[in-house]
Amino acid sequence: MKKIKDVIKKESPEKGSSGMKRRSFVKILGGGIFIFFQPWSAFDLLGLPAEQARSLTKDYNAFLHIAEDGTISCFTGKIEMGQGVITSLAQMMADELNVPFERVKMVMGDTDLCPYDAGTWGSQTTQTFGPAMRAAAAEARAVLTDLASARLGVPASQLEVKDGIITDSKNPKNTVTYEQLAQGKKLEKYLDVKPTVEDYTKFTYMGTPYKRVDSVEKATGQAKYTGDLKLPGMVFARILRPPSHGAKMTSVDVSGAEKIEGVKVVRDGDFIAVISENKDKVDEAIVKINAEYSFNEMNVNDRTVYDWMVKAQSRSNVVRTGGDIEEGRRISSKVFESEYHDPYVAHAAIETHTALAVLEGDKMNVWAATQSPFGLQDAIVRELGMTREKVRVRTPYVGGGFGGKAAYQQGVEAAKLARLTGKPVMVVWSREEEFFYDTFHTANVIRVNSGTDKSGKITFWDYHVWFAGTRGAEVVYDVPNFKTTSYSENRSVFAVHPFGTGPWRAPNNNSNTFAREVQIDIMASAAGIDPLEFRLNNLKDEKMIACLKSVADKFGYVSGKTPSGRGIGIACGHDAGTWVAEITEVKVDKSTGKVQVVRIACSQDMGLCVNPEGALIQMEGCITMALGYTFSEEMHFEGGNILDRNFDSYSIPKFSWVPEIDCVILDRKNMPPKGGGEPAIIAVGAAVCNAIHDATGARLYRTPMTPERVMEALKKV
């Protein structure tokens, strides 16, 4: 049920959850019609802890503004980092408001102007935020229709809306536009709306492929990223960093840096930085600081970490269980035990963490490359002892995030330096800092014990996952006896990771899907059953079945027992509410161990696909990015010392790696939209691993599948 409270005359809330006074907000934006709404579904579905949700339940935030010049602005705390929501959100808005797509402007990631948002991640923008936004837009249209009814002197039911023009259906000359209705108004409406799924047959823009709205700006160098901003008197800063995580400074000599003309050293305890208007000078100065450190390294490295993790004192949690594992074992004709390893992986966005901060009066203004402007605002409030209304974070275009920019340390650093120096301070992390302070995808270990009976049915599934969490750890297949146990870090007892870890595109689903789908392939091969047929025989999940069948069709799959020598591999799974299946063909050079992916077909069920063009780009991007964790990406380290600090030793996908890519998006217009920014990345590793086995008979149990590891596996065939 929809409930509208018209509070034009009622006292409206003094402050938004961002802390900005509502009145000053209206002052900034001028007149027009404002629709404030509450993103119920985002709140419900994200299941935010109360503290994070802040005053969301009590307060309304500016959301939609119809300006006096007819510009329709949508204010959202989401940010654009390449995933294309700047286009898909505008499509949704245009559809519900019946205005030309070009008229909708997205204002994103500004803590003073936009509604609170926990962060842009988890493929949530379209699936949870989108429907709430559409509901508010639909209500806005109703408000406008009411205003038009009064103005044109005809009942609302007699009015038609097209392209932002409201027309009396009985007298086509009797019309009024949205901007005419907005002129001279300062109208605020407050909605309390549960979103519903609209009838897809009425969509004009949704479901239609749209080119990116930001491409001309980005192709001409006009698009502004945080590092592109400049304020009068701005200085660049470089901050002194320890040589490894956990190192403590024992002494420091900054005189070498101070001698450089135009450079100033700023110090607050162990927080030491150099500033200059000249970026090259700070780069030169920072290496002139001599500091001594004491080390208390954890005795672990990239080779020993798997053993270390299994032996660590961790928290174990049985996530799901059904049937009886021992009974499953008893009825099995074959049992399989495998252990899978997956390393720490870097985000490596091409834009490093960047922030600009300036203290103006008592207000800290910050611009940052972040996936979480409100999280950064809170961190500054906390660390600098400020109040929320005195900290404003804005998010220009973000040059890639992938989860890595959910962390915002650089924003806090810029704010600290702005306060210490009284100047606008630009912090641009160097590539080395970016690798050092990345919040890596966590290394993990997965052990799977499973069995099959004589007919090739899976009898049991005993799944143990260390430090990869449970995203993607579902059984997926129809197995009578199953148990999933997750082991996670218990920091109060023992810190497992020597450095920061965090979400990495489809967090840990890559790892879980890799282990599951490789294990499935091992069982299929042992049963002498074609791996597609084996999957279909053991699945009840209709969506998974449909994805597998459609991808087989797209690929032109011909069944065969593995290893067939053809180099074809299959994998499937689900993430962010979206189902995905992939089939790939690889060529393996048995003399070098080098693997080339020839082609990948991918089928996806993502519910209503708002922008098929954008969704396709995300699928292609996922598949291409996945080649990194599949073949090369692995963070090397000794204790807290990160050994890979640039793209020379840490290799990400390049043009020569890229296969032919064929994608299918299943037509599900009548279903709610689901996530599209992550799912297609999850199954590539397993599909390739299975394809290598199909080509050669060699089985790998870990990523990345480097030539050395492929050679090692080949020796065991």
- DSSP code of 557? -
Of 277 and 297, the one with the shorter C-beta distance to another protein is 277
| By CB under 8 A, residue 431 contacts another protein | yes
Q: Could you say which of 192, 541, 613, 638 contacts another protein (CB under 8 A)?
A: 613
Q: Closest approach of Cβ 283 to another protein, in Å?
A: 8
Q: Could you say which of 201, 220, 250, 492 contacts another protein (CB under 8 A)?
A: 220
Q: Would you give the binding string for another protein spanning residues 329-368, x where CB under 8 A is met?
A: -------------------xxxxx----------------
Q: Could you say which of 5, 230, 454, 491 contacts another protein (CB under 8 A)?
A: 230
Part in contact with another protein (CB under 8 A); list of ranges 94-102, 154-162, 197-205, 209-217: 209-217
> CA–CA separation, 654 vs 651, rounded Å?
9
| By CB under 8 A, residue 279 contacts another protein | yes
Q: Closest approach of Cβ 624 to another protein, in Å?
A: 3
> CA–CA separation, 609 vs 330, rounded Å?
45
Part in contact with another protein (CB under 8 A); list of ranges 356-364, 456-464, 513-521, 646-654: 646-654
Q: Could you say which of 223, 331, 536, 546 contacts another protein (CB under 8 A)?
A: 223
| By CB under 8 A, residue 224 contacts another protein | yes
| By CB under 8 A, residue 648 contacts another protein | yes
- DSSP code of 224? P
Q: Could you say which of 625, 635, 664, 691 contacts another protein (CB under 8 A)?
A: 625
Contacts of 152 (CB under 8 A, 6+ apart): 159, 166, 168, 174, 175, 176
Of 97 and 663, the one with the shorter C-beta distance to another protein is 663
Of 298 and 623, the one with the shorter C-beta distance to another protein is 623
Q: Could you say which of 175, 177, 430, 537 contacts another protein (CB under 8 A)?
A: 430
Q: Is 126 exposed, middle or buried (0-12, 13-18, 19+ CB in 10 A)?
A: buried
> CA–CA separation, 436 vs 238, rounded Å?
14
Q: Could you say which of 77, 119, 195, 227 contacts another protein (CB under 8 A)?
A: 227
- Listing DSSP states for 295-332 in one string gives ----S-BTTTHHHHHHHS-EEEEEEEEES-HHHHHHT-
Phi and psi, residue 78, nearest 5°: -70, 160
Angle of helix 373-384 relative to helix 409-421, nearest 10 degrees? 50
Q: Closest approach of Cβ 37 to another protein, in Å?
A: 29
- Lay out the sheet containing 61-66: strands in order across: 3-5, 186-192, 32-37, 61-66, 72-76, 104-108
Q: Could you say which of 647, 667, 708, 717 contacts another protein (CB under 8 A)?
A: 647
Helices (H), 508-611: 509-527, 531-537, 542-555
Helix, strand, or coil (residue 667): coil
Q: Would you give the binding string for another protein spanning residues 485-504, x where CB under 8 A is met?
A: --------------------
Q: Could you say which of 106, 191, 368, 428 contacts another protein (CB under 8 A)?
A: 428
| By CB under 8 A, residue 640 contacts another protein | no
> CA–CA separation, 383 vs 418, rounded Å?
13
Contacts of 521 (CB under 8 A, 6+ apart): 531, 562, 569, 570, 571, 686, 689, 690, 693
Q: Could you say which of 41, 83, 123, 519 contacts another protein (CB under 8 A)?
A: 83
> CA–CA separation, 47 vs 124, rounded Å?
12
Question: What residues from 529 to 568 belong to the interface with another protein (CB under 8 A)?
Answer: none
Part in contact with another protein (CB under 8 A); list of ranges 393-401, 506-514, 535-543, 579-587: 393-401
Q: Could you say which of 202, 211, 363, 454 contacts another protein (CB under 8 A)?
A: 211
Q: Closest approach of Cβ 574 to another protein, in Å?
A: 21
Contacts of 280 (CB under 8 A, 6+ apart): none
| By CB under 8 A, residue 623 contacts another protein | yes
Q: Could you say which of 81, 181, 285, 580 contacts another protein (CB under 8 A)?
A: 81
| By CB under 8 A, residue 228 contacts another protein | yes
Q: Could you say which of 116, 205, 367, 397 contacts another protein (CB under 8 A)?
A: 397
Of 352 and 452, the one with the shorter C-beta distance to another protein is 352
> CA–CA separation, 185 vs 181, rounded Å?
8
- Its sign, for the CA torsion 8, 11, 17, 21, is positive
| By CB under 8 A, residue 321 contacts another protein | no
- Beta strand 595-605 with 578-588: parallel, antiparallel or unpaired? antiparallel
> CA–CA separation, 215 vs 222, rounded Å?
10
Part in contact with another protein (CB under 8 A); list of ranges 299-307, 397-405, 411-419, 516-524: 397-405
| By CB under 8 A, residue 656 contacts another protein | yes
| By CB under 8 A, residue 381 contacts another protein | no
The site for another protein, by CB under 8 A, has a size of 58
Question: 704 preceded by cis ω (within 30°)?
Answer: yes
Determine the residue type at 302.
D
On the CB side of 682, CA atoms within 13 Å amount to 29
Tokens of 82: 């390449």
Q: Which stretches does DSSP call E strand in 220-378?
A: 235-239, 248-253, 264-268, 271-276, 290-294, 314-322, 334-342, 354-360, 363-368
Interacting residues toward another protein by CB under 8 A: 81-84, 211-212, 214-225, 227-228, 230, 277-280, 283, 348-352, 397-402, 428, 430-431, 613, 617, 620-625, 646-648, 652-656, 658, 661
